A and B are shown apart, each in its own frame.
Chain A
């Protein structure tokens, strides 16, 4: 299976900050990568698909980039609603795998 590794595992930031989360794949996955946001007690919410495509209804402060094995999710200016856990997910192979998650905390 393709392993997905996110960094950092925890990130402390303030409202208005620009933050970046990295996701690395154990082998190339082209651009077959999605990003999700999850809040406690809720289902994940799709933010980005195919590495850089913003899902409908997702604020434009979220952006994704990368291809091959290295990907990033950037939030341009953190809002209070953005403090949550973020997951990447690859769908290059017929077995889909998630990163371990990055918890974004208020500094």
Chain B
């Protein structure tokens, strides 16, 4: 069974950066996209970007271009999402999610990582 396990809660200052990890187990890591989706408190889901580990080239939502970096390590089966220049509006739960076999729907999700940005 595929599992995605994310790193723990983060509290950050405005202007700083956060790096969240997502460790995959139980499946083939390299062939499927790993996506990052965030959810602000009481709000909906927002896709941030993806990477297919075997190719290594990320695809970012335009909104986050220049502020987000997504990488994947095939040897450890860990994907990372780093978000810089944090502001209070970035307070959210950040999820990693695996892309499906037949398209970019998300069939497995991590448990979520709460990132709070506060001075």
Give A contacts to B, CB under 8 Å.
1, 32, 34, 36, 38, 43-46, 49-50, 55, 87, 89, 91, 94-101
Instruction: Indicate with 1 or 0, residue by residue over B91-117, a CB within 8 angstroms of chain A CB atoms.
Output: 000010100101111110111100000
Give B contacts to A, CB under 8 Å.
35, 44-47, 50, 59, 61-62, 95, 97, 100, 102-107, 109-112
Task: Give Cα distance in the complex from A95 to B47, angstroms.
Answer: 8
CB of A34 within 8 A of CB of B106, answer yes
Known: A1-B62, A95-B62. A44 touches B106 (CB 8 A): yes
Determine the main DSSP class of B at the interface with A. strand
Determine the main DSSP class of A at the interface with B. loop
- Selected from B44, B103, B104, B109, the residue in CB contact (under 8 A) with A98 is B44
Task: Give Cα distance in the complex from A20 to B114, angstroms.
Answer: 32
Nearest A residue to B100, CB-CB: A49
Highest count of chain A CB atoms <10 Å: which of B44, B46, B95: B44
Task: Give Cα distance in the complex from A38 to B62, angstroms.
Answer: 25
Name the distance in Å between B112's Cβ and chain A's nearest Cβ: 6
CB of A34 within 8 A of CB of B105, answer yes
